[in-house]
Structure 1
Amino acid sequence: MPDISVFSAILWFVAGLAAGAAHVVALWPNVQWFMMPGRRAAAVAVMVVRLLVLAAVLFLAARNGTASLLFAAFGVILARPVALRLMRRYTGAAPLAAIREENARS
């Protein structure tokens, strides 16, 4: 890694993890608000903020260099399955495979 130090790479990876986790975790209340007629404006605002924060982190990483962008993007990609697994425990939702199996039986 000629243009980025190990410490900087770790920081961009952690920033990507944090931004990706926040993006995915904020999906749950966002979807809940979209289903309530009186909260749709708030849902749109949260959605816009979610996307802007993620875009800002990736933009800053890109301004810092290609390697920084790759490490931040890798953090965002890895944050998704981890956050979804944690959210499944929090919400008590069944895994997708179990839902498909139940639908196939009926």
Structure 2
Amino acid sequence: MPATGELEPATGKPEHLPPAAAKPQRTAKTVQQTTRAGVIWTFTIVAIIVAILLVIFMIQNQVQTTVTFLGFQGELALGIAMLIAAIGGAAVVAIAGAVRIIQLRSRASAADKRLNH
């Protein structure tokens, strides 16, 4: 008889494990799947919280300031001016990200064509 943990010569299975109890059964409660709707719902809640914080920021920063851009000059609330600057920065990042994604997709497509031909 083999020692504990050794394999039985006939079956190749560990001798000390009962066949049915070797693997725990997973139930629907133990496995949680992430759905696309769940992810969208989570990001929507985060976006609403960020929007609320931005509105609070703009309300608290109503001091009028002079803004100059490309020779144009005007009076604007400080909170609004900073929000416009942040949106401009986000747009630059989004454009750079989109260009990079397009570049990576075209490289992947070219590599796929090389492999399939």
TM-score greater than 0.5 by the shorter chain: no
Q: Which of structures 1 and 2 has the larger relative contact order (alpha carbons within 8 angstroms, sep 6+)? A: 1
Higher strand share: 2
TM-score in terms of structure 1 length: 0.32
Higher helix share: 1
TM-score in terms of structure 2 length: 0.30
